[in-house]
Amino acid sequence: MIEKFDPLKGEMLRILHPDGRLEESLRPDLSDGTIQGLYRDMVILRVMDQRALGFQRQGRMGTYPPVSGQEAAQAGSSYALGKDDWVFPSFRETGVLYLRGVPLKDVFLYWMGSEEGQKVPPDVKVFPVAVPVGTHPLHAVGAAWAAKLQGEKICTIAYFGDGATSEGDFHEAMNFAGVFQTPTIFFCQNNQYAISVPRKKQTASKTIAQKAIAYGFPGVQVDGNDPLAVYAATKDARERALSGLGPTFIEAVTYRFGPHTTADDPTKYREDAELEEWKKLDPLLRMQRYLGGQGLWNEGVENKFKAEAEAIVSQAFQEAESAPPPEPEAIFKSTFAELTPTLKEQMDDYLAFLKDKES
């Protein structure tokens, strides 16, 4: 289905319009009940994000990268994955982590500075958060290649931003995936900015999706604020991957409502008017409009979902806050299974320094 939308012609996949109208001919195989569940999850992500900002401002959590505005991209794609598919996230995929089964407590722990938060339960197929921009698509391609060689019926998905597409690693990953036909989904959340650098200064390409064409596989632009379009494109990409057709590139066109991280002030580089225009395309609003028309959303439903979300977030944060603070040596011990001689030397040196300071 995605091949019907040519990024070179500016064609973008959209199924749920901002006014809540559904493109029936493109409707994915989701019941209205499931769509309501998807909306409920998006509310949890919105509430989680708002609370996380508050916790950071109260000094109870470290730097945090918000996801508000990108809930459709994260929830829509998560819903389309299989249980055994591997996710390779960047730092802004809090919503994906949660929906793929990483306990919210661990997500918070990570942003509190504890590597314990990166230790996912054994049945959760999520790699650690990659803060170095654009490095992990290579890992996703490598893992997909391994799965292909071993005959495993899974795909891998790498999440990254528009800015990451300027990194060399990204292009190496795309090239390798195209040549070796790896079952990989490249999922780009184009939120229009890489910190303060706008999309138009990132690439001279008309779309980011069209970059896939040069590497010999399909790329599709989807309305990233439309969870149904994101779901349908990801599901299609997954089916292609599992049937041996190789990689797919998805550009989810979206916008981050908040700052890049809690350390950023977006008013320095973007106009309020731009933000207001994008707020009209808020992914939660169009879901409310659609579900409202089906009798599955009203103020009562909204309040119920919000209260449930508050309870989930409060409990997770309480658990994270009551976990013991990380040992100083955790910073050295969290990368390799066994310490390298250089890391061991650095760790011993640091522990001796701390001991000296105490005495």
Ligand X SMILES: Cc1ncc(C[n+]2csc(CCOP(=O)(O)OP(=O)(O)O)c2C)c(N)n1
Q: Which residues bind ligand X (CB under 6 A)?
A: 92, 131-133, 160-164, 191, 193-195, 260
Q: How far is the CB of 36 from ligand X (least distance, A)?
A: 28
Question: Active site includes 256?
Answer: yes
Cα–Cα distance measured from residue 92 to residue 90, given in angstroms and rounded to the nearest whole number: 6
CB count in 10 Å sphere of residue 82:
12
Assess 162 for contact with Mg ion (CB under 5 A).
yes
Assess 93 for contact with Mg ion (CB under 5 A).
no
Cα–Cα distance measured from residue 176 to residue 179, given in angstroms and rounded to the nearest whole number: 5
Residue whose entry in the numeric block shows the structure tokens 């138009």: 200
Closer residue to ligand X, CB minimum distance, 21 or 201: 201
Say if CB 117 and CB 111 are below 8 A apart: yes
How many residues touch Mg ion under the rule CB under 5 A: the total is 4
Q: How far is the CB of 123 from ligand X (least distance, A)?
A: 27
Closer residue to Mg ion, CB minimum distance, 170 or 290: 170
Q: How far is the CB of 163 from Mg ion (least distance, A)?
A: 5
Cα–Cα distance measured from residue 207 to residue 190, given in angstroms and rounded to the nearest whole number: 10
Assess 221 for contact with Mg ion (CB under 5 A).
no
Binding residues among 194-213 for Mg ion as defined by CB under 5 A: 194
Closer residue to ligand X, CB minimum distance, 15 or 87: 87
Closer residue to ligand X, CB minimum distance, 111 or 160: 160
Closer residue to ligand X, CB minimum distance, 90 or 184: 90
The continuous run of DSSP H or E covering 139 comes out as helix 136-149
Residue nearest to Mg ion (CB): 161
Q: How far is the CB of 83 from ligand X (least distance, A)?
A: 26
Strand 184-190 vs strand 248-253: parallel, antiparallel, or unpaired?
parallel
Assess 224 for contact with Mg ion (CB under 5 A).
no
Amino acid identity, residue 181?
Q
Amino acid identity, residue 239?
E
Instruction: Considering only the stretches 36-44, 141-149, 159-167, 200-208, report the one whose residues sit in contact with Mg ion under the rule CB under 5 A.
Output: 159-167
Assess 161 for contact with Mg ion (CB under 5 A).
yes
Of Mg ion, ligand X, none, which one does residue 132 interact with (CB within 5 to 8 Å by kind)?
ligand X
Assess 85 for contact with Mg ion (CB under 5 A).
no
Q: How far is the CB of 235 from Mg ion (least distance, A)?
A: 24
Kindly give, in sequence order, each residue whose CB lies less than 8 Å from that of residue 193, ignoring residues fewer than 6 positions away.
162, 163, 199, 256, 260, 266, 269, 270
Question: Active site includes 17?
Answer: no
Of ligand X, Mg ion, none, which one does residue 260 interact with (CB within 5 to 8 Å by kind)?
ligand X
Q: What is the DSSP annotation of 86-125?
A: EEE--TT-HHHHHHTT--HHHHHHHHTT-GGGG---TT--
Assess 282 for contact with Mg ion (CB under 5 A).
no
Question: Active site includes 64?
Answer: no
Q: What is the DSSP annotation of 222-288?
A: EETT-HHHHHHHHHHHHHHHHTT---EEEEEE---SS-SSTT--GGGTS-HHHHHHHHTT-HHHHHH
Cα–Cα distance measured from residue 28 to residue 232, given in angstroms and rounded to the nearest whole number: 6
Cα–Cα distance measured from residue 143 to residue 242, given in angstroms and rounded to the nearest whole number: 14
Annotated catalytic residue, options 110, 260, 286, 290: 260
Closer residue to Mg ion, CB minimum distance, 159 or 217: 159
Annotated catalytic residue, options 136, 240, 256, 286: 256
Strand ranges for the chain from DSSP E: 12-13, 86-88, 156-161, 184-190, 193-194, 197-198, 219-223, 248-253
Closer residue to Mg ion, CB minimum distance, 2 or 194: 194
Binding residues among 166-195 for Mg ion as defined by CB under 5 A: 191, 194
219 pairs with which residues across the strands?
249
Question: Which residues are marked as active site?
Answer: 256, 260, 269
Binding site for Mg ion (CB under 5 A): 161-162, 191, 194
